[in-house]
Amino acid sequence: MNNNRERETSSYLKILKADGEKFLKLMRQHARGKSILDPTRKVLREENHLLFPLKNDSPVLPLFLQKLEKAMLCQVVKRENVFADRPQFRTLKEAMEQVFPVPYMESLPRSYDIIGSIIIIEFDRIENIAPRDREWFKQEVTKFLIQKHGKVETVYEKAGKVEGTYRLRNLNLLLGKDASETLYKENGCFFKLDVKKTYFNPRLNHERKRIASLPYKRNELIVDLFAGVGPFSIQIAKNHEVTIHAFDINPVAHDYLKQNIQLNSLKGTVIPHHLNVKELILRKSSLGTALYHKIDRILMNLPEKSLEFMDVACFLIKKEGIIHDYQICERPHSVQEAIENLKIALVRNGCSLKKILNSRIVKHYSPKADLIAIDASIKSTIQDG
Residues that bind ligand SAM (CB under 6 A): 165-167, 199-200, 204, 226-228, 231-232, 247-250, 253, 276-278, 301-302
Strand-pair partners of 37: 54
Nearest approach in angstroms of CB 149 to ligand SAM is: 22
Q: What's the min distance (Å) between Cβ of 352 and ligand SAM?
A: 24
Q: How far apart, in whole angstroms, are the C-alpha atoms of residue 256 and residue 262?
A: 10
Nearer to ligand SAM, 163 or 320 (CB): 163
Assess contact for 219 and 242: CB atoms under 8 A. yes
- Cis previous bond, 62, omega within 30: no
Shorter beta-carbon distance to ligand SAM: residue 149 or 274: 274
158 three-state secondary structure: strand
> Which contiguous run of DSSP H or E holds residue 362?
strand 351-364
Rounded to the nearest 10°, the torsion over CA 17, 19, 22, 24 is: -40
10 Å CB burial of residue 94 (0-12, 13-18, 19+) is middle
Binning the chain into helix, strand and coil, the percentages to the nearest 5 are 35, 30, 35
- When the beta carbons of 157 and 224 are compared against ligand SAM, the nearer one is 224
Name the minimum Å distance from CB 248 to ligand SAM.
5
> Residue 125 Cβ, how far from ligand SAM at the closest point, in Å?
25
Please enumerate in sequence order all residues whose Cβ is within 8 A of that of 143, keeping only pairs 6 or more positions apart, or say none: 175
Residue 141: CA count within 13 A, CB half-sphere: 27
With respect to ligand SAM, which residue has the nearer C-beta, 165 or 366? 165
- Give SS3 for 186: strand
**Number of Cβ atoms within 10 Å of the Cβ of 22:** 14
Minimum CB separation of residue 276 from ligand SAM in Å reads 4
Q: How far is the CB of 73 from ligand SAM (least distance, A)?
A: 51
Nearest to 35 by CA among 88, 110, 111, 104: 88
User: Which residue's CB is nearer to ligand SAM, number 204 or number 317?
Assistant: 204
Q: Report the residue number, 228 or 288, with the smaller CB distance to ligand SAM.
A: 228
Picking from 152, 90, 159, 149, the residue whose alpha carbon sits closest to that of residue 124 is: 159
The least CB distance from residue 187 to ligand SAM, in Å, is 12
The CB-of-305 to ligand SAM minimum distance in angstroms stands at: 7
How far apart, in whole angstroms, are the C-alpha atoms of residue 92 and residue 270?
A: 40
Residue nearest to ligand SAM (CB): 228
Nearer to ligand SAM, 38 or 311 (CB): 311
Q: Which is nearer to ligand SAM, 249 or 347 (CB)?
A: 249
